[in-house]
Structure 1
Amino acid sequence: MAALEIDQVRKEFGRERVLKDVSLSIESGQFLILVGPSGCGKSTLMNAIAGLEPVTSGYIRIDGEDVTGRTPAERDIAMVFQSYALYPSMTVRQNISFGLEMRKVPKAERFEAVERVADLLQISHLLERKPAQLSGGQRQRVAMGRALAREPKVYLFDEPLSNLDAKLRVDMRTEIKKLHQRLGTTIVYVTHDQVEAMTLADKIAVMRDGHILQLGSPDEVYNDPVDMFVAGFMGSPSMNFIRATLEQQDGGVQLRIETPSEERLTLPWPAARTTEALAERIGKTVILGLRPEHFSEEDARLGTQAEGTPMAATVSVVEPTGADILLRLPLGEEEVTARVGPKCRVAPGDRLALRVDMSRAVMFDADSEQRIA
């Protein structure tokens, strides 16, 4: 295990700057996920950590040692690729032990390492098969076993589950989580799937256009996003963004939302979160951020209603998912998504009473899209 530090790393391909002075650090044994849309630079950063791409400037340190100019073999890292990268003519045993053989590890030690990781990954019964005889999930386990056999300082996973079907991807995600809990290894993992990021990571780095917009725990990037991009990228369904006007109300502030029916909808902003800077924005347009689970339906059968501000909206679309129901509701200039319980009986066109949990809402500047409250 080893700590990893990226210090002002820049990568240019000709005139195009792909990584723009990227800095981050994780402690030994942490699970870091690099997440972002295609083309954001996450795979380039992964390749720079691995030594597959030389950086234009900046430093990469593993366990306090500067490895910026070292070859991949000299960095003591192991990488699991999206494409598995197994040798088709070799058995599973030979694929796992190949890297150790290249490093002149004695035969007895190689045998012991293969047996250890095969048992860990539950592929002992596959050791004499060849990759063509394996399923996608089994091939990915073999690729992981090849990396685990080496016991390097840092493991790198480059979108390892993207070629698997949906159910197998969920199963393998659980296996990777269990593996990290057992071994306590330092892992850097690239994905475009924010569900993988939320479920696996100790730390998430959200990237866009070669920058790291936010580095934090899954809870931090989900509940305290720094801007609208992070807020919208993390979460499924994504956060609702509603244009509103900030108004003064009884010494505090409220948000007025213009509705198509010209009804006046106002939502009070929590007094405990009202700052002088926010009060200075009275009369200006802001963006209110509400996640689908911040809405809850009223239920006359309940003696005590859920906390929150009451409102009503007409349902336009109902999407049952089994565990809950997603509703599309016109609110202001937009349609928003609300997540309600599976027993909510509602049909398109129904008028539904809801409560909005404003204590968990966030607010963004309408022009810069930066978080302001």
Structure 2
Amino acid sequence: MAALEIHNVRKEFGSERVLKDVSISIDSGEFLILVGPSGCGKSTLMNAIAGLEPVTAGNIYIDGEDVTWRTPADRDIAMVFQSYALYPSMTVRQNISFGLEMRKVPKPEREAAVERVADLLQITHLLDRKPAQLSGGQRQRVAMGRALAREPKVYLFDEPLSNLDAKLRVDMRTEIKKLHQRLGTTIVYVTHDQVEAMTLADCIAVMRDGHILQLGTPDEVYNNPVDMFVAGFMGSPSMNFIRATLEDGNGGYQLRITTPEEADLVLPWPEARIGAGMAERLNQPVILGLRPEHFSEEDERLTSQAEGTLLSANVAVVEPTGADILLRLPLGEQEVTARVGPKCAVAAGERLALRVDMGRAILFDAETEQRIA
């Protein structure tokens, strides 16, 4: 295991700058996930850590040693690729042990390593098969086994589950989580799937256009996003963004949401959530961020005890998911998504009373899209 430090790494392809002074530091044994949309630079950063792409500027340290200009073989890392990259003519046993053989590891040690990882990944019964005889999930386990047999300082996973079907992705995600918990290895994992990021990571780096927008725990990037991009990218369904005007209301602040047909909707902003600089934005447009779970179905029996601000709207679409129900409904000039319980008995076209938890709402600047409060 080893700590990983990335200091002001820049990567240019001709005149195009793909990585823009990226800096990340994680402790030994942490699970870092690089997440972002296609083309944001996450795979390029992974290749730079692996030594597959030379950096234009900056430094990369593994276990305190500067490996910026070392070859991949000299960095003591192991990589699991999206494409599995197994040798089709070799058995599973030979695929796992091949890297050790190239490093001239004695045969008894190679055999012991193969048995160890095969037992860990539950693929002992597959050791004498060839890749063509394996399912996608089994091939991915073999690719992981080949990396684990090495026991390097850092493991690199480059979108390893993207070729699997939905159920298998969930199963393999769980296996990777268990694996990390058992071994305590340092892992850097690239994905564009924010669900993978939220479920697997100790630390998430959200990337966009070659920059790290936010680096933090899953809880931090989900509940305290620094801007609208992070807020919208993390979470499924994504956060609702509602145009509003910040006003002075009875000694505090309130948000006025213009509705095209009815009276404007006014939502009080919690006093405990008043941020510095909000006074400067009075009577100016802002963006209110509410996640689907910040809405809850109103229960008349609990009206006197329930927290939050009451609103009602006509439901446009009802989407049952089994565990809960997603409702699409107009709020102001936008349509928002609310997540309610599976027993919510409402049909499209009906009016529903909901409470919105303003204590968990987030406010963004309408121009810069940066978080205000």
Q: TM-score range by the shorter chain?
A: over 0.9
Shift of 1:123: 0.2
**What does residue 167 of structure 1 align with?**
167
SS in 2 for 1:263: coil
Cα separation, 1, equivalents of 2:181 and 2:221: 22
Q: Post-superposition shift, 1:182?
A: 0.1
Q: CA deviation at 1:300?
A: 2.6
Aligned to 2:156: 156
Per-residue CA distance 1:93-149 (angstroms, 9 max, x = gap): 000000000000000000000000000000000000000000000000000000000
Contact 2:35 2:206 in 1 (8 A): yes
Bigger mean CA deviation after superposition, 341-350 or 304-313? 304-313
CA distance in 1, matches of 2:35, 2:268: 34
The CA distance in 1 between the partners of 2:306 and 2:76, in whole Å, is: 53
CA RMSD of aligned residues (A): 0.9
- The answer to whether the Cα contact below 8 Å between 1:292 and 1:339 also exists between their aligned partners in 2 is yes
Once residues 365 and 322 of structure 2 are traced to their aligned partners in structure 1, the CA distance between those partners, rounded to angstroms, is: 36
Q: Number of matched residues?
A: 373
Q: Give the counterpart letter for 1:146 in structure 2.
A: R
Question: Paired residue for 2:131?
Answer: 131
2:280 alignment counterpart: 280
Query: How far 1:302 sits from its partner (Å)?
Result: 4.3
Match of 2:118 in 1: 118
Q: Could you tell me which runs of 5 or more consecutive residues in structure 2 were left unpaired when the two chains were aligned.
A: none
Residue in 1 that maps onto 2:104: 104
- Deviation per CA, 1:21-49, whole angstroms, max 9, x where unpaired? 00010000000000000000000000000
CA shift in 2, pair 1:261/1:71, >3 Å: same
Deviation per CA, 1:198-221: give whole Å up to 9, x if none.
000000000000000000000000
Given the two structures, how large is their TM-score scaled by the length of structure 1?
0.99
- 8 Å Cα contact 2:254-2:268 kept in structure 1: yes
- Quote the Cα distance in structure 2 between the aligned partners of 1:228 and 1:316: 25
Secondary structure in 2 matching 1:330: strand
Residue 304 of structure 1: CA displacement?
5.8
The correspondence of residues 298-317 of structure 1 with structure 2, limited to 5 A, is 298-302=298-302, 305-317=305-317
Q: Tell me the residue number matched to 1:205.
A: 205
Deviations 1:242-279 (A, max 9, x none): 00000101111000000121412111111011135112
| Runs of 4+ displaced beyond 6 Å | none
Residue in 2 that maps onto 1:177: 177
Contact 2:159 2:191 in 1 (8 A): yes
Q: Give aligned-pair identity as a percent.
A: 85
CA apart distance, 1:333: 1.5
| Aligned counterpart, 2:334 | 334
The structural deviation recorded for 1:192 is 0.3
Match of 2:253 in 1: 253
Name the residue aligned to 2:80: 80
Q: Measure the CA separation in 1 of the matches of 2:301 and 2:324.
A: 19
SS at match of 1:93: helix
Structure 1 residue ranges without an equivalent (≥5): none
CA contact (8 A) 1:256 1:264 kept: yes
Counterpart of 2:245, as a letter, is T
SS at match of 1:275: coil
Give the CA deviation at 1:303. Answer: 7.2
**What is residue 70 of structure 1 aligned with on the other side?**
70
Between 171-180 and 259-268, report the one with greater CA deviation. 259-268
- Asked if 1 retains the 8 angstrom alpha-carbon contact of 2:35 and 2:207, the reply is yes
Distance 1:54 1:206 in 2: 22
CA contact (8 A) 1:298 1:305 kept: no
Letter in structure 2 aligned against 1:88: P
Alignment check: 8 A CA contact 2:316 2:327 kept: yes
Please list, as runs of the form range in 1=range in 2, the aligned pairs for 1:338-357 lying within 5 A after superposition: 338-357=338-357
Task: Output the amino acid matched with 2:306.
Answer: A
